[in-house]
Amino acid sequence: MRFSKDHEWVNLDGDTATIGITAYAADQLGDVVFVDLPTAGKSVKAGEGLAVVESVKAASDVYSPVAGEVTEVNAALSDEPQTVNDAPEAGGWFVKLKVADPKALDALMDRPAYEAYLKTL
Amino acid sequence: MSDQTLKTTVLHEAHVAAGARMTPFGGYDMPVQYPMGILKEHLWAREHAGLFDVSHMGPAFLDITAPGGDGEERHRAVAALIEPLVCGDIAGLKPGQVRYTLLLNEEGGILDDLMIGRPYDPEFQGRLYIVVNAGGKEADFELIAQAAGRKARLTRADDGGLIALQGPEAVDVLRRVLPGVETMGFMSYRRRPFERVSVRVARSGYTGEDGFEILVPERGATSLWNKLLADRRVQPIGLGARDSLRLEAGLPLYGHDLDPTVSPIEANLAFAVSKKRLKAGAIRGAERIARELADGPTRIRVGLKVLEGAPAREGAPILGARGKQVGVVTSGGFAPGLGAPIAMGFVPPDQSKPGKKLSVEVRGRKQAAHVTALPFVPHRYHRNPER
């Protein structure tokens, strides 16, 4: 699993990346009440808006850590958005992306680096 | 965000110790939520009793300077100084009564919404208790002090604590700490002893629930907060849930649903306009307000239930049947008590009937919505007459 400074995680399997937000991000957002997901087939650039997550208080953008094409979205979140709080780095995933360049993940942090980064915040 | 420019309330340490997440609001470093989280805090206040620090707001006393006169004369004299600024009947307040009113500009636009109370005790007649919003308190106090001139003295009381206890169990919690409050009716106002200080209690609030707002001098504030928090039925509630609670209760928030261009009629707050004073032309912007009352305003504040999709927040366009924009959302979010998004906004009166089908636009997408009578969640005020 790799992590971005914007608190997204990416898990690569072949050229398919599963993307979600980290436990830290979910905790900062508070209770998630709605997730606005893209439609399958959408192409995104690295750093581009991928989804919007709504807590009681506010709407927050989720950025794609890597470029690619959306192949699948987590439809279960429409009925159970709180899964993002309960299991942010598992069942609370947002989208699967066919990654344009798997090597792009090397620019992201591994877990020890991300945890060290959190300590600086 | 530099901390030295942010003010703190007298309860700041208690919030930090309780693990609150702090955020700047109205110039103060305030708790937005506690570890429980906004959703659970909201539901707790609806079911039990929620404790809120609202010490960032602007409580003050306005005291007539001239001696003499009986209680009624002294009250009428101080009321006459503030009435030119507000649309309510302040002279008509009974001893121990508090009233919601609006501070208006010359065009009848709303400068702030506030509470004005008349003391119950004979020795305090000729005094008004005033609570304005945090954001506008400097300007409001200046306006009031100017209107009073030398005839009355404005004394700020925002150096102490202002604590709200809200929810169905609030009365039974508070009576153990401030005996006698259980006999108060909705919108009544009393002085009560607490330890070595005097506190001012109003049976009012901003959640739609029964509850109390208590002004406590600095040296009693932390003790009162901790005593109330020691009751198992009480949880501290942050500004996040305060906002979702007031939204469900259909209560407007100044700076969002109300601003200097909005009249009391447009704001759907006609109940706060004294019909007697309006008829006499004695209210700022009386001509506009009377015209809007008779012919209808060009826009009016309504409630919207969003039937699908994401919450529609402040600024979201409201669309009519043919997809044309007819209005704008002024506050909106997710209603924990309804499990659905709700909003308030302004639309023309012909689009304002409950049940009217409209839509809201969120991130370029049209989502079905319909107009709903306010409040979204019924008020549960303690309206029983006082014993």
* Each residue's pLDDT tens digit, B187-227: 999 999 999 999 999 999 999 999 999 999 999 999 999 99
The percentage of residues in chain B with a pLDDT greater than 90, rounded to a whole number, is 97
The token duo for B283 is 């209210």
Does the distance separating the beta carbons of A57 and B240 come in below 8 Å?
A: yes
Residue B49, phi then psi, degrees to nearest 5: -145, 125
Map out the domains of chain B with their CATH numbers.
Answer: 3-56+159-248 (3.30.1360.120), 58-156 (3.30.70.1400), 299-372 (2.40.30.110)
Chain A residues within 8 A of B33 when measuring between CB atoms: 30
Q: Does A31 reach chain B within 8 Å, measured CB to CB?
A: yes
Query: How does pLDDT run across B57-109, given as a tens digit for each residue?
Result: 999 999 999 999 999 999 999 999 999 999 999 999 999 999 999 999 999 99
In a 3-state reduction of DSSP, which class is residue B256?
Answer: coil
Closest chain B residue to A36, measured at CA? B310
Count residue pairs from A and B with Cβ separation < 8 A: 47
In a 3-state reduction of DSSP, which class is residue A47?
Answer: coil
Does the distance separating the beta carbons of B333 and A57 come in below 8 Å?
A: yes
Non-local (6+) Cβ contacts of A69 within 8 A are A41, A42, A43, A44, A97, A98, A100
What local confidence, expressed as pLDDT, does residue B4 receive? 60
Query: How does pLDDT run across B257-266, given as a tens digit for each residue?
Result: 999 999 999 9
What local confidence, expressed as pLDDT, does residue B24 receive? 95
- Which of B23, B38, B367 to substitute to test the interface with A, most A CBs within 10 Å? B38
Measured distance CA(B108)–CA(A64) in Å, rounded: 49
Does the distance separating the beta carbons of B363 and A36 come in below 8 Å?
A: yes
The token duo for B198 is 């005097």
**Mean per-residue pLDDT, B162-178:** 98
Chain B residues within 8 A of A59 when measuring between CB atoms: 310-311, 313
- From residue B145, alpha-carbon distances to A114, B61, B135, B282 in Å are 55, 11, 17, 20
Evaluate if residue B2 carries a pLDDT over 60: no
In this structure, is the dihedral angle defined by the CA atoms of residues B24, B30, B36 and B41, taken in order, positive or negative?
negative
Evaluate if residue B372 carries a pLDDT over 80: yes
> ω before B375 within 30° of 0 (cis)?
yes
When CB atoms are compared, the residue of A31, A54, A58 closest to B39 is A31
**Under 8 Å between Cβ of B335 and B341:** yes
pLDDT tier at B1, thresholds 50, 70, 90: very low
Q: Does domain A2-119 have CATH number 2.40.50.100?
A: yes
**ipTM given for this complex:** 0.90
Measured distance CA(B123)–CA(B71) in Å, rounded: 8
Query: How does pLDDT run across B238-289, given as a tens digit for each residue?
Result: 999 999 999 999 999 999 999 999 999 999 999 999 999 999 999 999 999 9
**Under 8 Å between Cβ of B252 and A68:** no
Measured distance CA(A105)–CA(B344) in Å, rounded: 44
Pairing of strands B234-236, B49-53: parallel
Q: Which amino acid is at B72?
A: E
Max intra-chain CA distance, chain A: 37
**Under 8 Å between Cβ of A69 and A43:** yes
* This prediction's pTM: 0.95
Q: Does B322 reach chain A within 8 Å, measured CB to CB?
A: no
Closest chain B residue to A31, measured at CA? B39
Instruction: Count Cα neighbours of B358 within 13 Å in the Cβ-side half-sphere.
Output: 35
Measured distance CA(B86)–CA(A36) in Å, rounded: 44
Q: Domains of chain A: which residue ranges?
A: 2-119
Evaluate if residue B387 carries a pLDDT over 80: no
